[in-house]
Each structure stands twice: as structure tokens, then as C-alpha cells.
Amino acid sequence: MDVIDLLMAHRSIRKFSDEPIDDGTIERIIAAGFAAATSSNLQGTTVIRVRDAETRRRIAELAGGQTYVETAGAFFVWCADLHRSAMACEIGGGAFEPGVTEHFVIATVDCALAAQNAVVAAESLGLGICYIGGIRNDPAQMTELLELPEQVMPLFGLCIGHPAQDPQRKPRLPLTITLKEERYDDSGDRVGIGEYDETMRAYYRERTGGKVDRAWSTDMSALLGKESRPHMRGYLDSQGFRFR
């Protein structure tokens, strides 16, 4: 498949067959992930593959009952990692300076870039994926479960497996809203969002047989109109990410 066509065809898969994925394929996918760009060659990403059924069951529970964590052919936790960088500082004869916001930003961006590379590699092989942001529902327990040292944060999970469903592609905001020329001009965005709301309503009605009639703007109101995961700041402090 053409690369652009492959990217445009992305869907989240939440039902997987029981067909296994061989270790060689997994290694190719993850290696493709680590071939992504990395700022200053920090390589601030660590991936933990979780095979143990009980551990995956527990992660699914912590993530809000997302059972596909258990049923996917492979499951990974992607971590922003400055622990290894701190070790490198010591080996190099220097000293790691904790709490620098920019270093944490670099590590999180590195991790997202690497994960998306891996996703594209998996999808190019006919596999399906689903990101699991729900692991941040209780990052402290995730940290204990995976024995993460200080300066490592679990950012998201990733299910990879053979799809057992063929869902529609969810419509995205049009480029007339998200692609700006020269400066940030939002003069047409309210109209564009209103039109996109109707597109999303039609998508949800078709996907659910008329049971759901939701707009993007109301989804955003529900998401951003309240505090979300208020434990995150305290957790980051406990993991040594005391920003300045």
C-alpha cells in the first residue's frame, strides 16, 4: 500500500483474533519505532512488552476495563525515560540535572514519535493497533507493577494484533481549520467546527445504528470542561520529575 494511503486508512482496532504475532515481527516493528527522529539523540524512550496474562489483566483493569489489553496479540507500555540518560551522564563523567522541563518534553516527544513509527510499521504488515492512554488513570500502580525507577514515566499502552473487526475511519477536522498560512487565523474556525460537528454526528449515528448522536464540540466540552487526572502532578513529583 502507498504510505500516504496507509496513513489515511488508520483506525483504532479494539477486537483482535487469537492469531499470534511471532517475535521476529515484533522486533522489526519496535526497531522501526526506534528509527524515528530523536531530539539531540536523547533516545528518551523505553518500551516494555507485557506477556504475563495476570499483569495484562491488571493493566486492563487499571486502564478502565479495556479488555483488548488482554486480547491483543501483543501489548506494550511506552515510557518517557530519563533514567537511562542520567546513567549516561554518570558514565560520561558528568552529573544529571533533574527537574528540567525541557528534558521531560524531549523525552515525551521522542516517545510519541517512536510509537507512531511502530504503529505505521505494524499497520503496513496488516496488523491493527490501539493506543491505551488509560494507563495514566493510576500511574503509581503502573509504576509499581512494572518496577519503573525514578525518571521513568509510563505514557501510554499500545495493543498490536490481527484485527477481528473492520471499523470505519473516524473523520478528522478539515485542513481548513488545522492548516494555517503564515499566522494563526481562526476567523473561519467557528463555522468549520459547526460543519465538523454535523460530520461527527452522522459518523456516530451510522457507526452505532442511530444509538449515539454526538458532536465534537460537546465531546471537547466534556473532556476539557473539568479537571482530568489530578493525580498526575503528584505522581510526577514522586518519580523525580520536579519541574522548573
**Where exactly are the structural domains of the chain?**
3-167+227-238, 175-213
Domain 3-167+227-238 has CATH 3.40.109.10: yes
> Nearest Cα to 114, choosing from 26, 48, 38?
38
pTM of the model: 0.95
Residue 243 pLDDT: 87
Residue 244 pLDDT: 83
Residue 107 pLDDT: 97
Give the pLDDT of the chain (244 residues) as one tens digit per residue: 699 999 999 999 999 999 999 999 999 999 999 999 999 999 999 999 999 999 999 999 999 999 999 999 999 999 999 999 999 999 999 999 999 999 999 999 999 999 999 999 999 999 999 999 999 999 999 999 999 999 999 999 999 999 999 999 999 999 999 999 999 999 999 999 999 999 999 999 999 999 999 999 999 999 999 999 999 999 999 999 988 8
3-state secondary structure 125-186: CCCEEEEEHHHHHCHHHHHHHHCCCCCEEEEEEEEEECECCCCCCCCCCCHHHHCCCCCCCC
Burial class (CB in 10 A: 0-12, 13-18, 19+), 28: middle
**Residue 41 to residue 151: CA distance in whole angstroms:** 18
